[in-house]
A and B are shown apart, each in its own frame.
Chain A
């Protein structure tokens, strides 16, 4: 048994029991397999997420992440608010955490385990709370051996304060010198450097589902748990991404469903990501129940820090314009979202092209003759051209013999009896038919 929850502890089961013993006490016990790999991954995920708060992070296996927050207090409005932020953020990730703050990493770790919620900022204030900790705390996260603990227990020591009073020389003679050095590190009398956690180049997070499901609302809810980690990774790099991959792994032999989610502009806004994910998941049909979600991102793009000006909402407006584009694209597809650009060609049907919205417009010399606001995709042959009255033209357009889209036409502006203004042309080649090509709307 690696861990037991509150209900299990009430039945008398504690971490460290053997499986057979535990089942004998409570036959209805629900067992979950402990996966050390998954635990390690989870710590990496938490560390990545926490990089939004401080650049100095260290993973302290098997169950602890250390953040050096002294330099971040000013930015986040004090220790209390920072703690609240971290607790809330971890809850959003679906994690239940114990937090404690102390001037040394070992003391912080011990306090988090035995006195969660402690907030000590001075080395001098450590003696009392650390001294009250039970002897077993000493072995937590340090290299104090089991034999040394047993030795201390056998001489009747129960609290760390009593350990601290033991003579150094005596401990050293009894192969228990590590006890003194561990205490020195915890009280800040010896340096305790920790390996620094480096942010990964690519972001990868995987969330296995306890109960496979294909309900999109459940999946959307669970998928949101992965987003804070991505946002934290990006915040730690001062960057944003314009696309990320979201995969749904299926039970059995089905290949994973992969969604490529594209944002209109690089962003690290969790809410924007969630909206896009909603759109994608909501319209997707899955081949079978999903048993894990994977979120991957790479190629972060540096983002300028957002100036939070009270009176200037132009950046906000631009953001919402970009977000609109991304939402429309996600639901309707890339090819349904377009814009226009004129091209330098005399042939009316080739004097424009589709471009993505927001593209720069090249300067193009425009014809000085009138052009209609609506153009028909295909010219429509006129059956009764005699009803029309010509009010402008002719404009001869003769071009394109080199690319097999030869055009030889005389264009006119014509008025219909009902008052519509049309753009019509007459072929120069036999049979010299009349065609409608656009409307002066």
Chain B
């Protein structure tokens, strides 16, 4: 009975004989990589599902909810749009360009009413002319969500629907539902619905580029930048209105100081020599 004395551990069993609860049933279709390895590992198909409604719940802006999708946005092909339907604020072009998003493929739809936003979202999906669609619908009932899910499935276009955290309690036909929260500068992604077993631990990722931490309280005095503008010689007053010179920067108080300044010419210096000063 020597064989029985050593108890079998689960790991020793051949994998194809034992079904484990954590495994996905069957092979889910290949998804689009999210660009975040830890997230890919928990998503069925190893990424964002192709042709599905994906709900993202956030309580407040600014925790990295858009940065999460930037790797996917960068892959937008030249013949299809990157649809943004009814974003609640202005998407900022310099930041998107810096992140490598192809702005010439951006399609920002600003509908006048929630009904039009829903219509536009469905058109973006149904046409097959978008590589992905981001949509901010105020309220969406079950029927509307189901139609969106169907349209996404038929056109094989992923739809990312941003919704307030309070809507997470509602039932939904979405294939993937994620709650996004901040976790000390990182983004905690709670995958609370997926095609597969439940996941109890959030996935921690770092979608935003880190910022040099330089703790400083607002109450403390703000370091003053020192600007040494290169000015026009005083003998050329006619050119004084043109912003011809970029300020040269030399900063000492803070190593992270960046200055962009085009400084107003000093009226006292702009005067020709010998011209009497006028008193205001």
> Does B192 make an interface contact (CB < 8 A)?
no
> How many residues belonging to B are interface residues under a CB distance threshold of 8 Å?
76
B273 on interface, CB distance cutoff 8 Å: no
A373 pairs with B80, CB closer than 8 A: no
Asked whether B92 is an interface residue with its Cβ less than 8 Å from the other chain, the reply is yes
- Min CB–CB distance A42 → chain B (angstroms): 36
Given A419-B185, A420-B182, verify A390-B214 contact (CB < 8 Å): yes
Asked if residues A361 and B211 are in contact (CB atoms below 8 Å), the reply is no
B262 lies within 8 A of A415 (CB): no
- The verdict on A346 contacting chain B, using a C-beta distance below 8 Å, is yes
User: Once A and B bind, how many residue pairs between them come within 8 Å at the CB atom?
Assistant: 245
Contacts of A342 in B (CB 8 A): 93-94, 97, 103
Contact assessment for A419 and B260 in the assembled complex, using a CB-CB cutoff below 8 Å? no
A310 at the interface (CB under 8 A from B): no
Asked if B216 CB lies within 8 Å of chain A CBs, one says: yes
How many chain-A residues does the 8 Å CB contact rule pick out? 79
Complex contact B62–A441 (CB within 8 A): yes
Question: When the two chains form their complex, are residues A398 and B218 in contact, meaning their CB atoms are under 8 A apart?
Answer: no
Which B residues lie within 8 Å of A331 (CB)? 116, 119-120
Do A401 and B256 touch (CB < 8 A)? no
B65–chain A nearest beta-carbon distance, Å: 5
B215 touches A389 (CB 8 A): yes
Q: Please tell me which one of the listed residues A317, A337, A426, A440 contacts residue B109 in the complex, with CB atoms under 8 A apart.
A: A337
Taking the closest CB of chain A, its distance from the CB of B122, in whole angstroms, is 11
Please tell me which one of the listed residues B97, B105, B185, B211 contacts residue A366 in the complex, with CB atoms under 8 A apart: B97
Nearest Cβ on chain B to A436's Cβ, whole angstroms: 10
Chain A residue numbers with a CB within 8 Å of B217 are 386, 389-390
Q: Which of A337, A360, A367 contacts B260 (CB 8 A)?
A: A367
B261 and A366 form a contact (CB under 8 A): no
Q: Which of A336, A359, A372, A415 touches B95 (beta carbons < 8 Å)? A: A372
Closest-CB distance, A231 to chain B (whole angstroms): 21
A339 touches B129 (CB 8 A): no
Which residues in A have their C-beta under 8 angstroms from that of B218? 385-386, 388, 390, 414, 434
Evaluate whether A375 and B60 lie within 8 angstroms (CB atoms) in the complex, with A359-B104, A389-B217 already known.
no
Q: Is A371 an interface residue (CB 8 A)?
A: yes
Q: Which of A45-53, A162-170, A321-329 contacts B (4 or more CB under 8 A)?
A: A321-329
What are the nearest 10 A-B pairs in CB distance? A419-B182, A321-B129, A420-B62, A439-B62, A352-B93, A398-B261, A340-B93, A324-B127, A371-B95, A324-B129
